[in-house]
């Protein structure tokens, strides 16, 4: 049996069935053929040839009649993949219809419009993943809104926080991406049918109306003005959105990795029963799924350089330098982002929480409530700067002398005159210094649920 050789792990490791259905060679060819069929139908509507001819082209513009192997064979001979498709389609059409295949079009009328069609389908998949993430984060925010943990800034303990607020923060960011996705879909997913250099000369006086009708049939907006191709700032918009989404997922995955560190140990990504962490250290439980997300994000971010160069390096009405790059980065960016989202959809609802470690870490910094005490001292009549300096010195002394923070505070004449020991003990309890965190999470959850209802009703 002949073994298959896969050069890139994208196909056998990261490609979901949804993205394969959109970006496989067969799907790409079928999209090109569909665009050709719509062009023929619109030509017939405008009376450029008969409806019967359009029906013949439409019937034959499928993989049942146009074989991928035949298109590849022709391409090997003529070194032009779009023309190879046109020839293969013409071969299977009746002679009267064959002569009208691809009438008036240039290659990138087909390619750019097909890209927009494929990207629209792929964005639908991305949107579905993002909506599922929102639902997961709604549940996590609700379930853990009262789970108090230590909040960190600069990698250092800062103030009491809640896991519910952390999850809600991520949830709102995902919702913003969904809103951006809608704007991008409407503005940047555009097609064209404007001929060799965009003048529509090959369509005579029907050009503008024909393009509008053609793209309406495909559910796309027209690019108002083109040269031989749709201008690549449109594609850059789409790629920027995808990479921006990936950056959010990388942020989430990095936070999971940090919180899974042995010294912190608050949450862990899920682990399969037979999963091996290390080939030599049996006790290891590595957050490899989150690490994989971080790694794939680096690759996606590098694609932005290519897409920007494609926009900047156009010679006159176009060159071909963009084509080879886009064959790789368009499907690659969608496929890898889809995989990243799928991984997080698995990780997040299956996170394991160590509540003991969460509480331990919350109590680890003895002076965690210094800000709260400082504000109360101001209420008691001290100046804000004076109170800040007192608490700063007390925290340093506690750390240096290994005395408890409360003991150091009590030994201060100024503080002991302002606050009783009972008051200090109350103020040092992190449970009482969450501010509006719970209410903020509730408001965020309410907005998120409203957003999802609006999304369903569209």
Instruction: Provide the pLDDT for residue 5.
Output: 57
User: What is the sign, positive or negative, of the torsion defined by CA atoms of 244, 348, 448, 127?
Assistant: positive
User: What is the sign, positive or negative, of the torsion defined by CA atoms of 415, 420, 423, 424?
Assistant: positive
Topology adopted by domain 113-269+284-361: Fumarase C; Chain A, domain 2 (1.20.200)
Burial 430-456 (b: 16+ CB within 10 A, else e): beebbeebeebbbebbeebeebbeeee
Query: pLDDT tens, position by position, for the chain (458 residues)?
Result: 444 556 788 888 999 999 999 999 999 999 999 999 999 999 999 999 999 999 999 999 999 999 999 999 999 999 999 999 999 999 999 999 999 999 999 999 999 999 999 999 999 999 999 999 999 999 999 999 999 999 999 999 999 999 999 999 999 999 999 999 999 998 999 999 999 999 999 999 999 999 999 999 999 999 988 998 998 899 999 999 999 999 999 999 999 999 999 999 999 998 877 777 777 777 778 888 999 999 999 999 999 999 999 888 667 888 888 888 999 999 999 999 999 999 999 999 999 999 999 999 999 999 999 999 999 999 999 999 999 999 999 999 999 999 999 999 999 999 999 999 999 999 999 999 999 999 999 999 999 999 999 998 87
Judge whether 323 and 80 are in contact, CB under 8 Å.
no
Separation between Cα atoms, residue 44 and residue 210, nearest integer Å: 10
| DSSP three-state, residue 153 | strand
User: What is the sign, positive or negative, of the torsion defined by CA atoms of 359, 360, 363, 368?
Assistant: negative
Separation between Cα atoms, residue 241 and residue 184, nearest integer Å: 8
Q: Is 43 a catalytic residue?
A: no
Strands 221-222 and 190-191: parallel
Instruction: Provide the pLDDT for residue 1.
Output: 40
Q: Is 435 left (phi over 0), alpha (psi -120 to 50) or beta?
A: left
Write the CB contacts of 443 (distance below 8 Å, at least 6 apart in sequence). none
Separation between Cα atoms, residue 16 and residue 66, nearest integer Å: 26
Burial of 355 (0-12, 13-18, 19+ CB in 10 A): exposed
Half-sphere exposure of 348 toward its Cβ, with a 13 Å CA cutoff? Answer: 31
Q: Token pair for residue 37?
A: 């069929």
Closest CA to 317 of 232, 225, 228, 202: 228
R_g (Cα) of the chain, nearest Å: 30
Q: Token pair for residue 11?
A: 């196909």
Distance from the Cα of residue 115 to its chain's centroid: 19
Separation between Cα atoms, residue 177 and residue 243, nearest integer Å: 11
State which H helix or E strand residue 64 sits in.
none
Catalytic residue among 3, 69, 79, 154: 154
Entry field: residues in the chain: 458
H helix runs in 313-379, sequence order: 321-347, 355-362, 370-379
Instruction: Provide the pLDDT for residue 317.
Output: 80
Other CB atoms within 10 Å distance of the CB of residue 14: 20
H helix runs in 226-354, sequence order: 233-259, 288-312, 321-347
Separation between Cα atoms, residue 193 and residue 112, nearest integer Å: 9
Closest CA to 56 of 40, 33, 39: 40
Instruction: Provide the pLDDT for residue 202.
Output: 95
Separation between Cα atoms, residue 289 and residue 455, nearest integer Å: 30
Half-sphere exposure of 138 toward its Cβ, with a 13 Å CA cutoff? Answer: 16
Q: Does domain 15-98 have CATH number 1.10.275.10?
A: yes
β-partners of residue 161 are 149
Q: Is 154 a catalytic residue?
A: yes
Task: State the pTM of this model.
Answer: 0.93
Judge whether 118 and 128 are in contact, CB under 8 Å.
no
Separation between Cα atoms, residue 347 and residue 277, nearest integer Å: 16
What does the domain layout of the chain look like in residue ranges? 15-98, 113-269+284-361, 370-428
User: Which position has the token pair 């083109």?
Assistant: 226
Catalytic residue among 278, 302, 416, 420: 278
Other CB atoms within 10 Å distance of the CB of residue 271: 16
């Amino acid at each position: 049996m002949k073994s298959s050789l896969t050069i890139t792990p994208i196909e056998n490791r990261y490609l979901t069935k949804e993205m394969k259905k959109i970006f496989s060679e067969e799907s790409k060819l079928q999209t090109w053929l569909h665009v050709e069929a719509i062009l023929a139908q619109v030509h017939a509507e405008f009376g450029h040839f008969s409806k019967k001819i359009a029906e013949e082209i439409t019937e034959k513009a499928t993989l049942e009649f146009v074989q991928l192997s035949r298109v590849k064979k022709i391409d090997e001979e003529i070194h032009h993949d779009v023309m190879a498709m046109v020839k293969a389609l013409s071969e299977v059409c009746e002679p009267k219809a064959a002569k009208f295949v691809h009438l008036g079009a240039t290659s990138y009328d087909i390619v750019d419009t097909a890209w927009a069609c494929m990207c629209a389908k792929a964005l639908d998949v991305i949107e579905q993943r993002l909506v599922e993430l929102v639902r997961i984060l709604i549940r996590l925010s609700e379930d853990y809104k009262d789970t108090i943990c230590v909040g960190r800034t600069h990698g250092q303990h800062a103030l009491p926080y809640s896991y519910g607020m952390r999850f809600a923060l991520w949830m709102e960011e995902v919702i913003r991406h969904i809103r951006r996705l809608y704007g991008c879909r409407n503005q940047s997913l555009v097609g064209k049918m404007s001929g060799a250099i965009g003048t529509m000369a090959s369509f005579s006086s029907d050009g503008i109306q024909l393009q509008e009708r053609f793209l309406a049939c495909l559910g796309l907006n027209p690019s108002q003005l083109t040269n031989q191709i749709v201008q690549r700032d449109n594609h850059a918009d789409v790629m920027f959105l995808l990479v921006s989404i990936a950056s959010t997922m990388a942020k989430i995955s990095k936070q999971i990795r940090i919180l899974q560190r042995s010294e912190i140990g608050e949450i862990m990504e899920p682990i399969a029963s037979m999963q091996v962490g290390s080939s030599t250290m049996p006790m290891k439980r590595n957050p490899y799924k989150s690490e994989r997300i971080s790694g794939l994000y680096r690759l996606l971010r590098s694609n932005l350089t290519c897409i920007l160069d494609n926009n900047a390096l156009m010679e006159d009405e176009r060159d071909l330098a963009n084509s080879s790059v886009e064959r790789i980065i368009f499907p690659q960016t969608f496929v890898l982002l889809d995989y990243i989202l799928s991984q997080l959809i698995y990780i997040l609802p299956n996170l394991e929480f160590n509540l003991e470690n969460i509480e331990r870490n919350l109590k680890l910094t003895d002076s965690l409530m210094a800000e709260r005490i400082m504000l109360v001292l101001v209420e008691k009549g001290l100046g804000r700067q004076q109170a800040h300096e007192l608490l700063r010195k007390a925290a340093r002394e506690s750390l240096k002398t290994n005395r408890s923070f409360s003991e150091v505070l009590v030994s201060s004449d100024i503080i002991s005159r302002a606050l009783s020991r009972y008051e200090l003990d109350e103020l040092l309890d992190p449970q009482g210094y969450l501010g509006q965190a719970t209410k903020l999470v509730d408001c965020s959850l309410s907005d998120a649920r409203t957003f999802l209802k609006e999304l369903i009703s569209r």
